[in-house]
Amino acid sequence: MLSLVDVSYHPPATPQPVLQRVSFGLPSQSLSLIVGVSGAGKTTLLELIAGLATPTQGKILWREQPLQAPDLQELAGLVFQFPERHFCGLTLLEELRLGHPELTLEQVQQVLTTVHLRDVPLHQPPHYLSGGQQRRLALAVQLIRQPYLLLLDEPLAGLDWSMRRQVMQLLQELKRTWALLVVSHDTCELSAMADQVWCLEGGRLRGLTG
């Protein structure tokens, strides 16, 4: 299990800590949800877990062993709120093979099947996809890396009801295999499928469910 123990983050440029003594654990095969208003520090928390930033104090543990940023980058896969800003490949196939040129077409089709994109042509540019499809492609990019943990920043933001339902169905399926941590400003839909829910407010985390 991945655990955070008294993690705080206080950038020099800010008068107050963004995160204060945050502690929680993320069991395998579960979906954990953190809710909070914009600016609460949700994205910063994901970046710490993904190894893109370093806590000011506290520890991030994997099986009770402390981890450094390079370890976390191997362990966690982060899907940003606007994944289309991070696509670099000219086609779906290029995007999926970035950093993984050895991927066979069979492996590519397998991961696209997992995220319900198998019917999309491999020569399709990522930016031609719908919002929901772009979220699923971003998930596929991370699944290829085989992380322990999937981190999702506002996965339903900006999607219509049909696309939201498709993404929620996919998250429900993914949590059978992976540990998922989702951050969102909206509790309504995601809390129903979450195994544990917290609220992040004023840099502090409090549990909403056991």
Number of domains in the chain: 1
CA angle 39, 44, 50 (to 5 degrees): 155
CATH number for the domain harbouring residue 93: 3.40.50.300
Q: Check whether 107 has a pLDDT greater than 50.
A: yes
162: pLDDT strictly greater than 90: no
Confidence of residue 81 (pLDDT cuts 50, 70, 90): confident
- Per DSSP, 31 falls in state E
Q: What is the pLDDT of residues 28-67, one digit of tens each?
A: 999 999 999 988 999 999 999 999 999 999 999 999 999 9
Instruction: Name, in order, each residue with C-beta under 8 angstroms of 16's C-beta and a sequence gap of 6 or more.
Output: 10, 203
CA 197 to chain centre: 15
Mean pLDDT, the chain, rounded, equals 92
pLDDT at 210 over 60: no
Q: For the whole model, what pTM was predicted?
A: 0.90
Domain that holds residue 112: 2-207
